[in-house]
Amino acid sequence: MDNIEVMISTEELYARIAELGKQISEDYKGKTVKMICVLKGGIYMLTELSKSISEDVKVQLDFMAVSSYGSEQVSSGIVKIIKDLDEPIEGQDVLIVEDIIDSGNTLSYLENILWDRKPNSIAVCTLLDKPSRRVVDVDVKYCGFQVPDVFVLGFGLDVDQNYRNLPYIGRMKE
Ligand code: IMP
Ligand code: MG
């Protein structure tokens, strides 16, 4: 698209997600992993990642929707649960799948809620990380790419609910 500059191509995304899938397959070999997708942005990452996990791992999916922003492009620090998980996670190995970690507010809030439900473990996998913007310290075990402090879109990431379906990560041209 004319007004969008590609930052990470489709090929690069798929290659890196496959690597993460391989790593997760080794780490969870013989176990069951409950992948929790943070809607809506996480769905593209969740589907690609889950398909690249080996059959030696049992994969279960659940979904949660939280909102941290409204339509602002800056984190408000206020996180709201819009849709909760369908099933309990007690005793399970949970893998939170995110599109991007920016301030860390969303993830840190989510992890607190989920720990209260007594899972066996919680790990985090994010497609993108913007470490320069971190406000709250969060432990990210699996990260696709680090990105600079620019507003990115595509592969699940939106600008006012648009552009999530682009098969690459891009940014608006100035
Ligand atoms: P955090 O709570 O500040 O870490 O923000 C996390 C959420 O903000 C992500 O799950 C995204 O929905 C959104 N977000 C943060 N940075 C961007 C961006 O560059 N583009 C699109 N959405 C973003
Ligand atoms: Mg968003």
Which residue is associated with the tokens 């090929």? 11
3-class SS of residue 106: helix
Q: Tell me the ligand closest to 159's alpha carbon.
A: 1
Position 5 scores a pLDDT of: 96
Position 80 scores a pLDDT of: 82
Position 171 scores a pLDDT of: 97
Give whole-number Cα distances, 59 to 28, 49, 155, in Å: 10, 11, 22
Other C-beta atoms within 10 Å of 32: how many? 11
Residue 31 preceded by cis peptide, ω within 30: no
Q: Is the pLDDT of residue 27 over 90?
A: yes
Position 174 scores a pLDDT of: 78
Position 110 scores a pLDDT of: 93
Closest C-alpha to ligand 1, atom 12: 41
Q: Does the C-beta of 75 come closer than 6 Å to ligand 1? A: yes
Q: Does the C-beta of 103 come closer than 6 Å to ligand 1? A: yes
State the DSSP code for 53.
S
Whether 102 is catalytic: yes
Which is the closest atom of ligand 1 to the Cα of 106?
2
Position 91 scores a pLDDT of: 98
Position 89 scores a pLDDT of: 98
109-132: average pLDDT = 96
Q: What is the pTM of this model?
A: 0.94
Q: Which of 102, 137, 149, 158 is catalytic?
A: 102
Average pLDDT, the chain: 93
Q: Does the C-beta of 152 come closer than 6 Å to ligand 1? A: yes
Among 35-39, 132-136, 140-144, the range scoring the smallest mean pLDDT is 132-136
Other C-beta atoms within 10 Å of 54: how many? 13
- pLDDT confidence tier of residue 76, bands split at 50, 70 and 90: low
